[in-house]
Structure 1
Amino acid sequence: MSKLTTAWYQGAYWVWLLSPLTLLFWMLSSLRRWAYRRGIFASSKPDAFIIVVGNISVGGNGKTPVVIALTKWFQQQKLRVGVLSRGYGGSATTFPHSVSRTDAASVVGDEPKLIAQRTGAPVVIDPKRTRGATSLKNLHKCDVIICDDGLQHYALQRDIELVVMDDRGVGNGKLLPMGPLREGKWRLNTIDAIIHNVQTEGEQAALERVSVPQYAMKLQGYQCVRVTDQHTVSIDAFRQQHDGFTAIAGIGAPARFFNYLAQLKLSAAKTISFNDHHKFEKADLPQGVVLMTEKDAVKVEALGHEQCWYLPIEASLPEEFYQQIEKTLPQSILNLRSQNGI
């Protein structure tokens, strides 16, 4: 897959050999959207405010930090908020499944496990999004449900659609498998907002010919945490104590993590990339000091040695973004917030 991914973002001409498959993909996806619009395929939602955080391209763009930030914001508003995920990479077979503290990432998926740990909010995994959302409403009494990914899961109706994009943009602008897009660029004009995952100061965070609001998001790390006992040290202290460590990342864009470490002046002697949602084994973890993403850390809790560390990341979004979310809330949700003292 890496060779194909490289071709998408470097403009390789040989991807045109895949055009018959792209045409088939376009026909099937267009027919599917038409069927949902016409009511041939059923769609529904529970009595809750539904936010979908997704993207139009394959690969990690930074959705999970946005989901965590939104979840914490709704918790601050004293609203009952839950998170819905497919549970990709997990081995669970019974759905809907509510993520518990004792669930291993190998069972529920790395992202649901991470979100549950970071927020304390109820997290349900279910490949059938409508069923999972209903569980969050009925079992966990959630007033707000944030769907991690699922922009193309039209069976679940939604109130807000947010798309997260990184500096790779839309690549060559072509649909799968000629390019990285699940839906055409036209889709960006039908959503509620675009969130740009920017890495450097002054980086432009806007797409031309897009009519919806666009916001820049910064991902920031403040400390390093030891996997085995959750002991924390400042980034400055880690830098002074552990020069020449190994950095590993099993996420959609490992280079983004490695580049961020460089921005923090954390000098890795070696970097190791794994596929997104990689299932770690002990042999994957080098000896000596290892620094990884938090998404990887939830998968190596039982495997990591005493020199395994991770860097938690927080998404920083502008106040204007949350103001837009607040303006979209229905009166019923505002009334609940008022009843809870906000």
Structure 2
Amino acid sequence: MSDRRPSARGWAPRHWYQDVPIPLSAKLLSGVYAAVTGLRRWLYRKGLKRARHPGVPVIVVGNLVAGGAGKTPLTIAIVERLKAEGFNPGVASRGHGRADARTARWVDAGTPVEEAGDEPALIVAHTGVRLRVDRDRYRAAKALAADGCDVVVCDDGLQHYRLARDIEVEVIDGQRRYGNGRLMPAGPLREPVARGQRCDFRVVNLPDGGGEGARSGFGEWPMHLLADRAIPLLGGRACPLEAFSGHRVHAVAGIGNPERFFAMLRGRGLAVVPHAFPDHHAYRPSDLEFGSPLPVLMTEKDAVKCAGLHADQHYSVPVRARLPEAFWVALLERLAAPDMRRT
């Protein structure tokens, strides 16, 4: 019987983040995974497989573990800061959860989420940025450069070595970190922990106001995801989260670590009835039928996929990333370095 089961902590196998025995089959497959991915990295490092550059600076935002760590809010924050500094950025994304993942396409405000993917739809809704989804991130970046973008931000592309990059940003979950430290499927790692040391920036996603077990280390930049509003999905004025303080609510999260969302709501005084779904879950009406007429609060990533499923008292809770100003200074200085590749 599989140990992959839903809980407030998500759908990851229990042995990734809990002190339980690792199945022998997972250990054996982990060795195969290590050999295959290690060979792939070696081929790119030796130039036997070729990484290609689109001709404008490329910033890759990614993580080492399977699942979410806060990449999309950071991508949004980077795009917004670049626009404020006078850049014309574009975003390259695979577009997880798309109905036709083989077809590349432009994503704009009118693109159905089934064709865009949940994270690209969210990025475009926040920033209005030019965004291209393609399984081949190099082709997406090349299309963005040809369309006039002067810097490409790649959302979740740390392991996509075909796209040559100038700046790498690793995002780390400040609570779960690297789990048991093993490679998939014995653990959550897509690459060894040492891979993160080679990234230009390492950003640690910390709960707002701290949190049990959360930490950042030397050479890591702290990031807090701030939430203070709830927006009705049927339209209308936003209300402060504190309006729900002391009341029971259904909380919906289909993200890499649902417990982060539930804990954030509890920290605002809400009595949470948690409902965790797999990352990139495609919602059906029955998924949101909980049998009690309480308000339903969900992450923005989930809300963009619930068009047509909206009911009264359903709310989206947006977050925004806050990082030290010194991080932005360092990132912009690196982007202005003479070795940046430009057309």
Fold equivalence (TM over 0.5)? yes
Q: Contact 1:224 / 1:234 at 8 angstroms: preserved in 2?
A: yes
- Alignment of 1:306 with 2:312, yes or no, is yes
Q: Kindly provide the amino acid, as one letter, of the partner of residue 288 in structure 2.
A: L
* Alignment partners' CA distance in 2, 1:43 and 1:106: 30
Q: CA deviation at 1:83?
A: 1.0
CA change 1:22–1:94 in 2 (3 A) is closer
* Alignment partners' CA distance in 1, 2:248 and 2:134: 41
Task: Work out the number of aligned pairs and report it.
Answer: 327
* Alignment partners' CA distance in 2, 1:276 and 1:331: 37
CA change 1:36–1:260 in 2 (3 A) is same
Query: Which residues of 2 match residues 26-65 of structure 1 at below 5 A?
Result: 26-65=34-73
Q: Kindly provide the amino acid, as one letter, of the partner of residue 292 in structure 1.
A: M
- Single out whichever of 90-99 and 243-252 deviates more from structure 2: 90-99
CA change 1:39–1:318 in 2 (3 A) is same
Picking from 160, 172, 175, the partner of 1:165 is: 172
Q: Contact 1:249 / 1:257 at 8 angstroms: preserved in 2?
A: yes
- Alignment of 1:145 with 2:145, yes or no, is no
Secondary structure at 1:177's aligned position in 2?
coil
- Single out whichever of 100-109 and 289-298 deviates more from structure 2: 100-109
Query: Which residues of 2 match residues 26-175 of structure 1 at below 5 A?
Result: 26-93=34-101, 95-139=103-147, 141-166=148-173, 167-175=175-183
TM-score by length of 2: 0.90
- Alignment of 1:205 with 2:215, yes or no, is yes
Map of 1:340 onto structure 2: none
Q: CA deviation at 1:330?
A: 3.1
Secondary structure at 2:59's aligned position in 1?
strand
* Alignment partners' CA distance in 2, 1:74 and 1:257: 27
* Alignment partners' CA distance in 2, 1:46 and 1:6: 40
Give per-residue Cα distances to partners, 1:239-292, cap 9 Å, x unaligned: 48xx32211111111111000001111223x22111111101111123542111
Q: CA deviation at 1:178?
A: 0.8
Secondary structure at 2:305's aligned position in 1?
coil
Q: CA deviation at 1:15?
A: 3.5
Q: CA deviation at 1:230?
A: 5.0
Q: CA deviation at 1:238?
A: 4.2
Greater percentage in helix: 1
Map of 1:266 onto structure 2: 270
Query: Which residues of 2 match residues 277-292 of structure 1 at below 5 A?
Result: 277-286=280-289, 287-292=293-298
Q: Contact 2:249 / 2:297 at 8 angstroms: preserved in 1?
A: yes
Q: Contact 2:303 / 2:316 at 8 angstroms: preserved in 1?
A: yes
CA change 1:93–1:64 in 2 (3 A) is closer
What are the ranges of 5 or more consecutive residues in structure 2 without an aligned counterpart?
6-10
CA change 1:7–1:106 in 2 (3 A) is same
CA change 1:163–1:230 in 2 (3 A) is farther
What are the ranges of 5 or more consecutive residues in structure 1 without an aligned counterpart?
337-342
Q: Kindly provide the amino acid, as one letter, of the partner of residue 100 in structure 1.
A: D
Map of 2:8 onto structure 1: none
Picking from 272, 275, 279, the partner of 1:276 is: 279
CA change 1:175–1:333 in 2 (3 A) is closer
Q: CA deviation at 1:92?
A: 3.2
Q: Contact 2:298 / 2:315 at 8 angstroms: preserved in 1?
A: yes
Q: Contact 1:8 / 1:180 at 8 angstroms: preserved in 2?
A: yes
Q: Contact 1:66 / 1:315 at 8 angstroms: preserved in 2?
A: yes
- Alignment of 1:225 with 2:235, yes or no, is no
* Alignment partners' CA distance in 1, 2:327 and 2:82: 13
* Alignment partners' CA distance in 2, 1:271 and 1:78: 42
* Alignment partners' CA distance in 2, 1:77 and 1:200: 26
Secondary structure at 1:13's aligned position in 2?
coil
Q: CA deviation at 1:89?
A: 0.4
Give per-residue Cα distances to partners, 1:166-187, cap 9 Å, x unaligned: 1101111111111111111111
CA change 1:230–1:38 in 2 (3 A) is farther
* Alignment partners' CA distance in 2, 1:101 and 1:184: 37
CA change 1:8–1:189 in 2 (3 A) is same
